[in-house]
Structure 1
Amino acid sequence: MTNPKPRGIYLLPNLLTTAGLFSGFYAVVMSMNGQFENAAIAIFVAMIFDGLDGRVARMTNTQSAFGAEYDSMADMVSFGVAPALIAYNFGLSELGKFGWLAAFIYVACAALRLARFNTQIGMSDNRYFQGLASPAAAALISGMVWVSMEYDIGGNDYGVIVAIITGITGLLMVSNFKYNSFKEVDWSGKVPFVALLLIMMVFIIVATAPSLVLFIVFILYAIAGPVNTFRTVDKVTLEDVVGEAKEDADFQTDEENTSSNSEKANSDNDASPKN
C-alpha cells in the first residue's frame, strides 16, 4: 500500500508570489498617499518577484496548479489594478468620467490578457507573446509616472496625455501584435567575455537615470510589437490586430502552422510566469 501524497503548498515559489502581490498592494497604498515615486518603484519590484517565482518553481521542481492560479491572481493585482490606480491618482482623477474610464480600460484589458495567456499555455509559440505582456504594460505606466516625478511634471497638468497612454497600453495587451518573449535565450550557456562588459555598461547606464532609461526601454518594447507584426505580414487586416490570431500573432500559412505545431509537440514548453 502506497502512502498518500502529503497535502499542502510549496513554500518558496508561493512566497515569492506573495512578495510580488505585496509590492503591488504597496504601490496602490503609496499612490493613494501621493507618493507616486515609491508606487512606481514598487511595480518594478513586483516584476522582479514575478520573474523569479516561476523560474524558482521549475528549478526546484515545485510547480503546481495552485501556484499557477495564485501567480495569475497576484499579477492581476500588481500589473492590472495597481498601475491603473497609480495612473488614476497621478493624472486622471481631475478628468472625471473620462479619467476613470481610461483606467478601467487598462484594468479590463489586463484581465483579458491574463485570461487569454492562461488558456494558451502549451499551445502558443514560445518565441513570442500575443499582445503586450502585463508586466511590461505595468512597467510602461509606472515608468511614465516615475519619470514625471523625477522631472517635476504634474500628472493633472497633462491628464489627457496620461489617459491616452494608459488606454493605448491597455489595448496593446489584448492586441495580436507579437512581442519577443526572449525565452529562446540560453541563460545557462557560455558567453564571450565582452558580453559581461556590455552587461556592466547596461547597469551603469540604468543607474545614471533609472526612471528615464527604463521608461524609454519599455516604450521601445511596446512599439516593437506593431513593428514586428507589420514587418512580417504582407497585408495586415483588422482581424490580425484585434481578432482571433492564428497562432500567437505569428501570422503564418496553414502549412507553416502545421510544421510549427509539430515541432513544438516534440519540445518542452516553458510556461513562463511572464504573462
Structure 2
Amino acid sequence: MDSVSDPKPKPHRGIYLLPNLFTTGALFSGFYAVLAAFAGNYVDAAIAVFVAGILDSLDGRVARLTNTQSEFGVQYDSLSDMCSFGIAPAVVMYCWSLSTLKTYGPFWGKLGFGAAFVYAACAALRLARFNTQVGVADKRYFQGLASPAAAGLLMSSLWAANEYGINGTMAQFVAPFLTVLAGGLMVSRVRYWSFKSGPKSDKVPFAIIPIAVLVLVALYVDTALVLFVIAGLYVLSGPLLTLWGMREARGRRDVRSDDAKPGAEPPP
C-alpha cells in the first residue's frame, strides 16, 4: 500500500496587478526625478517626488480595500520607496545645491557628497528597520521620520526656495544641514503620528471641512510654500510628541513609586 504524503503547497506565481501598478508609478516618478535633476529641471524633479508620495500612499490602501496584500507587494513597495524617497531626493539635492560646494575646494565638495550619501544611507536603514518591525511596533506611530516625509521636507524646501528666487548656490550652506537633519530624523527614535489609526466611523467633525477648504485654497495660492510649512510642522511635531510621551511615562512612574511607599493608602 502506497504511503500518502501531503504535498507542499505550490507558491503563487502571479502577482496582484492593481496595487503593484501604483507602486510601479511611484518608482517611475522617483526615476524621473533623478533624470530631471541631471537635466537641471529641479522643480520638475521635486514635483515628481511628491507624485511618488501620493502614489505610494495609495498602493497600500488599494491593496487593503481589494484584499490583494502580498509579501511580494510589501518587498516591491520597499524597493520603490528606496528609489523614490532615498536615492531620488539625495541626487536632486546634490545636483541642485550640494555639488556647488566643490567650488570652495575638494574638502567642501566631499562634504556635499557626504551629506547626500548620509541621507540615502539613512533612508535605507529606516526602511530596513521598518520592515523588521512590521506587526510588532505600535501602528499609531512611526519610529523615526518616515522616508516620504523626509523627502517631502527636502523637496518642498527646494521648490519654495526656487519660487522665491533662491538658487542652489545661494542655499549651499543650508542644504547640507537640512539634508543631514532629514536623514538623522529617519533613523532616530523620535515618534511621529502615522495617521493609520483613522476615525472609528465614517463621520468626522464639521470643523474638518472648513479646514480642508482653507488648506486647498492655500495650496492653490502658493503650493510650494504651503507644502514646506506642512512638512516643517510635521517634522517639528515628532520631538514634541516624543517629549510629551516621556513626560507622561515619568508621571506614571512617579505615581507607581508613591503607591509603593510604606504607609501609602491603596488606590480606590
Residue in structure 2 matched with residue 186 of structure 1 by the alignment? 199
Q: Size of the alignment, in residue pairs?
A: 239
User: Larger relative CO (CA 8 A, sep 6+): 1 or 2?
Assistant: 1
Letter in 2 for 1:233: M
Shift in Å, 1:7: 2.5
C-alpha distance in 1, partners of 2:203/2:51? 28
- Structure 1 residues 6 and 128: CA distance shift in structure 2, 3 A: closer
Residues 95-134 of structure 1: pairs in structure 2 closer than 5 A: 95=101, 96-134=109-147
Letter in 1 for 2:188: S
* Aligned pair partner of 1:80 in 67, 77, 86: 86
1:8 matched to 2:28? The reply is no
- Structure 1 residues 80 and 4: CA distance shift in structure 2, 3 A: closer
* Aligned pair partner of 1:35 in 41, 46, 49: 41
Letter in 2 for 1:203: L
Shift in Å, 1:127: 1.1
Q: Structure 1 length normalisation: TM-score?
A: 0.82
Residue in structure 1 matched with residue 27 of structure 2 by the alignment? 21
The structure number with the bigger radius of gyration is 2
- Structure 1 residues 188 and 146: CA distance shift in structure 2, 3 A: farther
Shift in Å, 1:193: 4.1
Worse overlay, 111-120 or 188-197: 188-197
**Gapped regions of structure 1 (runs ≥ 5):** 237-251, 254-275
- Sequence identity (%): 52
Residue in structure 2 matched with residue 93 of structure 1 by the alignment? 99
- Structure 1 residues 5 and 123: CA distance shift in structure 2, 3 A: closer
Shift in Å, 1:101: 0.1
Shift in Å, 1:205: 1.2
Q: Structure 2 length normalisation: TM-score?
A: 0.84
Q: Stretches of 4+ moved more than 2 A in 1?
A: 1-7, 191-198
Q: How much is the aligned-residue C-alpha RMSD, in angstroms?
A: 2.3
Shift in Å, 1:186: 2.3
- Give yes or no for contact 2:30–2:88 (8 Å, CA) kept in 1: yes
Letter in 1 for 2:246: V
* Aligned pair partner of 2:224 in 211, 228, 235: 211
